[in-house]
Amino acid sequence: MADFPVSNWPGYAADDCSPPLGLNLDEVLVIIPVLNEEVALPGVIQRLRAQGLRHIRVVDNGSRDRSAAVAQTHGATVVSEPQRGYGQACWRGLQEIPAHIQWILFCDGDGSDDLEELPQFWAIAPDADLVLANRRATAASRAKLTWAQNFGNGLAVELMTWGWGYRYSDLGPLRLVRRLALDQIQMQDRGFGWTIEMQVRAIECGLRVREIPMQYGDRQGGQSKISGTIQGVFKAGKGILGTLAKFYWRKLTRPTPPLPHSPTPPLHSPTFPLTLLAAILILIGSWIMQPHGSFDSTASFTWFCSGAILMGLGFITSWFLPRINAIWFWSVTLLSRLLLLPMASGDDVWRYLWEGYLQTQGISPYGTPPNAEVLVPLRTEWWDLMNHHDTSAIYPPVAQVGFQLLAHISLTVLAFKLAFVIADVAICWLLSRRYGYGSALLYAWNPIIIYSIAGGAHYDSWFVLPLVLAWLAADRQQWRWSAVWIGVSIGVKWMSLPLLAFLLWQQRWRKAIALLGFAAIPLLVTTPSFCLMGNCNLIPVQSNFVERGRSAELVPYLLAQVWSGSTEINWIFALPLSVTILALILWRQRLGAFAESYFVALFMLTPIIHAWYFSWLIPFSVASRNWGTRLLSLSGFVYFLLPYRQFAGLDTQWHLTGLERSLLWLPFLVGFLYSLSFSPWLSLSQHRDTEGGLPPNS
């Protein structure tokens, strides 16, 4: 979580240790649980008193040395807690607190905390409920922590991020908490899970949490109860992981509470029933759909549509979830894709296998169509399953290198599917980290995504993943990385070339030239190998598919109703698309907003559209919340009437009727216009779902 700049707070100066107005140190009680800390304890108490803290309570947790006597000598109140346990000692310190105390400061008695930085706590406290010291903020402090502390803290905070979508940095013992906040938290743990419980419950209770970078020093005496012995490491690990497991289970079976200061959820009923309903519908729909991917009969296609309808209902239900935890998010995301892995795939995957196979034989897939006489000896048992036998490879070099690598590993549909699903899951992870689990459902639980990648075996996730990486890098102004990732996406599908033009337009000319060089790296690395195979014809512009191919198009279809000759010349649609791209480059300010607008225009104008192309748009709609994209994710299944009619032998023209085309496109247009009515041109400038997401620079 981002830290507040302390220097901006009224009443605080770096050379002034007095607290700002609004925090009375007489209302702060310090609790120090100790076990054999007689050497370090005097210095700790003296430094606390130097900060103006008068109420200091030392909890002796069964020390065998003079810790209790030393504490009394230096003016601290001492209470005894013979039952061992860090949480037990802290709990004992919270008993019989004077009525005027409003804040509790927990700190260790070993002298490792830099108490001179406590004024930062006082500065932030008026606008916080829990203030934590972050010992892992600097390399110097991390170096002072043992390997066990660094590993354990890192693991624990990562697990909390996965489960509650809120990123902490440390589990440090130095913390300031409001008394009222402790009343809300209702601490139960009595062992090493104390800090974990407090931080998890702070999220669940919607408390305002802040973290302060804090220097961590050497222990001034005694031995660490956690990292000092192997037994201590295992005992602490057991306590921390056990506490997390308990809260994970409770979170899975109870409604998800709001995050600190997140907007009031639009749904006031408990979210657990809705989450369960959405999950069941999506998973049952996936299970029903899985055996029916061949579209070879009316019964099979009916079952496919039934599964798609259930998945769509689950997807719609997920729109009403104000937020969702990581367990539900990832369980449904992964299970739905695993269920569809055995499904009969679309015919594109056989092209991937064929072109990868040719490369393993030292033959370039460019310039030589599958039906060429020279390739007859290489035909496999699945050669007939390919489409467009008269067209050579249309996939760019980066994609071809990927096909070749997979063909070397395993020339099977399952191997290719797994590679596509891995990229798909990576997209889910990136979107959930940036925009939160709730917002990322628009992609992760999207039925058109789940089917297209895991079921249909379309490689579009390879195209979308670098696009998302480029987008997120551009948001952080990491222009070189953004250029490289756009270059990768261009090397997977040529359709992302306009994004490179947009990126270059935003820069000064010298920087633009440099970025162009970075973007060219993926193609420069992968293209020469195909030229060495004897063919550098990377785009078969003379093929019938490129010149006259049509598939579920919108504007080209409408034009053909008044000019039938337009069906023979696809290149004419490049003109309005180019004008639109130029206007968007001049108009838009951010890469994500440009990408979404560009893909909308592309879908409207392209003569060739397939349902899996919609996956290009969906990640960007996670940010804009475009209703058109949501509805297109459902209406897009109308497209599959085309392969059904072809494979079932009912129609070989690959043509949607006017009604079918309306059912496909009208929801998208209505939803898109609706979104425009309250979000002019779908601005992506500031949107971020507070649930589950991280700040851009986290």
| Chain segment 18-49, per-residue pLDDT in tens | 444 457 898 999 999 998 888 889 999 999 99
Which is more confident, 198 or 548? Answer: 198
Phi-psi region of 436 (alpha: psi -120 to 50; beta: other; left: phi over 0): left
Average pLDDT (40-64) is: 91
| Chain segment 288-321, per-residue pLDDT in tens | 999 999 988 899 999 999 999 999 999 999 998 8
CA distances from 32 to 55, 57, 111, 556 (A): 11, 6, 11, 75
pLDDT-derived band at 3 (thresholds 50, 70, 90) equals: very low
**What pLDDT was estimated at residue 236?**
56
Map tokens 């569809």 to a residue. Answer: 340
| Chain segment 131-150, per-residue pLDDT in tens | 999 888 777 777 777 777 77
Least confident piece of the model among 3-17, 182-196, 245-259: 3-17
Least confident piece of the model among 21-35, 397-411, 428-442: 21-35
| Chain segment 574-584, per-residue pLDDT in tens | 999 999 999 99
Percent of the chain past pLDDT 90, that is, above it, reads 51
pLDDT-derived band at 57 (thresholds 50, 70, 90) equals: very high
Least confident piece of the model among 30-39, 245-254, 263-272, 309-318: 263-272
| Chain segment 478-510, per-residue pLDDT in tens | 999 999 999 999 999 999 999 999 999 989 899
Q: How far apart, in whole angstroms, are the C-alpha atoms of residue 249 and residue 252?
A: 5
**What pLDDT was estimated at residue 373?**
94
CA distances from 367 to 374, 534, 536, 538 (A): 12, 9, 8, 8
* DSSP secondary structure string for all residues of 287-316: HHHTT--S--SHHHHHHHHHHHHHHHHHHH
Residue 208 has pLDDT above 60, yes or no: yes
What count of residues does the chain have?
A: 698
Least confident piece of the model among 158-172, 538-552, 574-588: 538-552
Residue 238 has pLDDT above 80, yes or no: no
> Are the C-beta atoms of 148 and 158 separated by less than 8 Å?
no
Instruction: List, in sequence order, every residue forming a beta bridge with 103; answer none if it has no partner.
Output: 28, 178
Q: What value does the mean pLDDT of the chain take?
A: 85
> Are the C-beta atoms of 111 and 217 separated by less than 8 Å?
yes
Residue 124 has pLDDT above 60, yes or no: yes
Residue 230 has pLDDT above 60, yes or no: no
> Are the C-beta atoms of 158 and 204 separated by less than 8 Å?
no
| Chain segment 68-111, per-residue pLDDT in tens | 999 899 989 999 988 888 888 999 999 989 989 999 999 988 88
Which is more confident, 547 or 276? Answer: 276
Residue 223 has pLDDT above 80, yes or no: no
**What pLDDT was estimated at residue 255?**
40
In sequence order, what E strands does 474-595 have? none
Query: For the chain, which domains are there?
Result: 10-253 (3.90.550.10), 284-678 (no CATH)
